Structure 1
Amino acid sequence: MDISLENKDALNAVVKVDIAKEDYSEKVDGVLNNYRKTANIPGFRKGMVPKGMIKKQYGQAVLVDEVNRLLQDSLNNYIAEQKLDILGNPLPVQQDNFDWNAENYSFEFELGLAPEFELSLDNKEPITHYIVTADEEMIDNQVKMIQKQYGKIVSQNEVKEGYTIEGVFHNEEEGIEHNTSFNIDEVDGKTNAKQILGAKTGEQVTVKTNKLFKDDETLASKLGIDAEKAEDLKVELTLTINEINENIPAELNQELFDKYFGEGEITSEKEMREKIAKDSEQTFAQQGDQQLLNDITEHLIGSVDFELPSEFLVKWLQTQGEQKMTEEEAREEFENSKKGLKYQLIEGKIIKANDLEVSQEDLKSMAIDRIKAQMAQFGQANLPDDQLEDIAMRVLSNQDEARKMAEQAMSQKLLDFYKEKMNLKEEKVTYKEFIDKVYK
């Protein structure tokens, strides 16, 4: 067997594999002999079928299988031995006059080569790392939400600010007859709110769809109609009020603290607010870190300029998946994924150059931390270490789960590496400021 490489340019190459009869004949004969021992053919005892008959019946198929197996193994070994950094998979070059009846065969494969490039992490302009803090307004809202969640509902007879109404919206011409529930504070227009405020249980009031709720989606939901119909709907509605309820917030006392945070965990409103702030900022820290990783990714992609073997990758994409892509679809897919592919190459270079790796211990530790967090939500915060480890190993025995966790662990290692090596500046912001800066 002979394997050779011809570089077409810096990003494309062709591998030629020449296979001679002596490379495969022994394997083919061995398979055919096994077929002979087990073949059941009428008129012949088992194991006594003439070899020529077996060869005539199965020879071509066995030859093709063994040559393809030898070809694939040899190609993979050659790529590994030569340390060829390829993108996608080798693509066989079509041969119109290929003859399986010949004794010697020649195959060619196109390769897309990963580009070589230099990468620097020395960014002169600092990248912002947002440290998101919990402001008093956010904490106030969270406290009110907890009080409402554990409060009590008291039936009332007259609609007042903050009350919840259960009733039926009706308009015969538009075919609207829908049971609904809404808080009076959700009503958007002053005129509509004025009509409903002061109304009593069992009464009917007339309102207009215009400015009834803040948006068309909410209007559609409350009236039980399609969002498209709600867009241009300008009619009067009859609201029959069946029930009026007041949500009385729970008092900030030890009973509420124990219900929400666990018995004895919190003993005062001050501790409650501190706990809310701490938990919120831990969640915000994850969002801040993710944004930092996104910004660093964009910076790194923009800091290097290299080409990809685009024509090869378009052809390769056409071979992927159960439904084959057209050339036009493959080009669109390539353009959409080009930035992600570039970052994969950058990321791979950083990982290799700095010996970053995820160990089994890293995965086990990550799995245990997640299990602890999940168990704490159900009030089981003190599972024994041996139980935690047993559950973690069962989680990691799922290959898909282990792969996802390994990717997440490597992202965290990369983020820690970037924080240490790159020029960053911290900026403290409230959550609202963070959303405004990042998403607007």
Structure 2
Amino acid sequence: MNITRENIDELNAVVKVEIAKDDYSPKVEKILKDYRKSANIPGFRKGHVPMGLVKKQYGQAVLVDEVNKLLQENLNKYLTEEKLEVLGNPLPKEQENFDWDKDDYAFEFELGLSPKFEVDVKTEKPITHYKIVADDEMIENQIKTIQKQYGKLVAKEEVEEEDLVAGIFKNEEEGIENTTTLPLEKLKGKRNLNKFLGAKVGDVVTLKTKSLFEDDHDLIEYLKVEHDQAHDLDVEVTFEITEVNKQEPAELDQELFDKLFGEGNVKSVTELKEKIKEDAENQFKQQSDQQLLNDVTEALIEKTNFDLPAEFLQRWIMVSGEKELTEDEAKEEYEKSEKGLRFQLIEGKLIQENELQVQLDEIKEMTKERIKMQMAQFGQMDPSEKDLEDITARVLSNQDEVKKLSEQVMNQKLLDFYKENINLEEKELTYENFVKEVYK
């Protein structure tokens, strides 16, 4: 067997694979002999079928199969040994009137080569690294939410603002009859709210579904109508009040603190506010870091210029999927994926040049930390090392999960690398202002 390469240019090459009879013949002969032993052909005893008949019936199929196996094995071996960085997969060149009756064969494959380029992570203009802080208003709102969530319901006779009103929505013609609990804060506008204020258990309130809630989708939940019916529904419904409750906020006491954060971990309102601020800003840090990754990605793509074997990649996209695409479809698909491919190459180069390798111990450590966080949400603040090891082992027995975790570890390594090496400018702002600035 002989393999040669002709470089068309820096991004395209053609590999020629020449296969002689001696390369495939021994294997083909062996397979046909095995077929002869087991062939069941009418008129012949098993194992006594003439070899000529076996070759006539199975010969070309076996030959094609073995030649294709040789092609794939040796082409892949050649690409590895030559250390060729290819994009996509080799594309076989079409050969008209190919003759399988010959002894020797030649096949040609087009290659799309990875471009040569350098990556400089220093940008002229600093990239913003946001530091998102939890302000006093956010902390106070979170405390109110906690008090409401852990508060208790107190039954009462007469409806006032912010009460929870249980009852039955009805409209016979539309087939509406649903028992529900309605938070009055869900209602849209003073007119709807005023119909409830002062009402008592047993009273019936008449309402219009149009503009009853800020979001028409709430009709699905509280009236139990279909999704399509909820949009533009404009009918009268009655609401018979069966129960009125006021939600009294939970006391900010040690019992609540222990319930939220474990026994003795928070001992005062001041410490509660500090804990809420710390937890919120840890979550914000994840969003800030993700935004930094996004911004660095865009900056490096814009700054790092190189050509791609675009025509080759479009032809490869045409034939590489489950369904063959047209030229226009392949071109459109290439244009969608080009930016991602560019960054994949840039990222790969950074990983290789800076030896950012993922180790199994790092994956295990990340898995343990995730498990600890999840268990803490359910009040298990101090799991044993054995429990952590057992759960980690179960998680890492799933190869898809290992792949996902490996990517997350690598993202963290890249993030740390960017923070150390890229020209960054820190900007402190509240979460509300972060959303306004980033998502506009």
Do both share a fold (TM > 0.5)?
Answer: yes
Displacement, 1:26? 1.6
1:122 maps onto 2:114 in alignment? no
Q: Which residue of structure 1 lines up, in the alignment, with residue 76 of structure 2?
A: 76
Contact 1:151 1:248 in 2 (8 A): yes
Q: Pairwise mapping of residues 170-319 of structure 1 onto structure 2 (< 5 A)?
A: 170-171=170-171, 176-226=176-226, 229-319=229-319
Q: Which residue of 2 aligns with 1:417?
A: 417
Letter in 1 for 2:275: K
1:210 CA displacement: 4.5
Moved more, 167-176 or 328-337: 167-176
| 1:153 partner amino acid | L
Q: Structure 1 pair 35/422, CA: closer, same or farther in 2 (3 Å)?
A: same
Three-state SS of the structure 2 residue aligned to 1:130 is: strand
Corresponding residue for 1:94? 94
The match for 1:320 is: 320
Task: Number of aligned residue pairs: give it.
Answer: 440
Q: CA deviation at 1:303?
A: 1.0
8 Å contact from structure 2 (residues 165, 241) kept in 1: yes
The structural deviation recorded for 1:135 is 1.5
Distance in 2 (CA, whole Å) between partners of 1:121 and 1:366 is 27
CA RMSD of aligned residues (A): 2.3
Displacement after TM superposition at 1:40 (Å): 4.9
Shift of 1:88: 1.0
Deviates more, 1:188-197 or 1:209-218: 209-218
Q: Aligned equivalents of 2:261 and 2:315: distance in 1? A: 57
Amino acid at match of 2:99: D
Q: CA deviation at 1:330?
A: 2.6
Structure 2 residue 332 is the aligned partner of structure 1 residue 332: yes
How far apart in 2 are the matches of 1:395 and 1:205?
54
TM-score w.r.t. length of structure 2? 0.92
Q: Is the 8 A contact 2:210 2:232 kept in 1?
A: no
What pairs with 1:307-386 in structure 2 (closer than 5 Å)? 307-386=307-386
CA 1:171–1:383: 2 relative to 1, 3 Å: closer
CA distance in 2, matches of 1:296, 1:395: 31
* 1:20/1:104 contact within 8 Å kept: yes
Shift of 1:295: 0.7
Secondary structure, counterpart of 1:287 in structure 2: helix
Is it true that 1:152 corresponds to 2:156 in the alignment? no
CA contact (8 A) 2:19 2:105 kept: yes
Secondary structure of the 1:207 match is: strand
Counterpart of 1:429 in structure 2 is 429
Q: 1:331 and 1:353 mapped to 2: Cα distance?
A: 32
CA deviation after TM superposition for structure 1 residue 65, in Å: 1.4
Whether contact under 8 Å (2:261, 2:379) holds in the other structure is no
2:66: which partner in 1? 66
Percent same amino acid at aligned positions? 57
TM-score, normalised by the number of residues in structure 1: 0.92
Task: Classify 1:233/1:57 alpha carbon distance in 2 versus 1 (closer, same or farther; 3 Å).
Answer: closer
Residue ranges of structure 2 left out of the alignment (5+ in a row): none
Contact 1:216 1:227 in 2 (8 A): no
Distance in 1, matches of 2:274 and 2:4, equals: 68
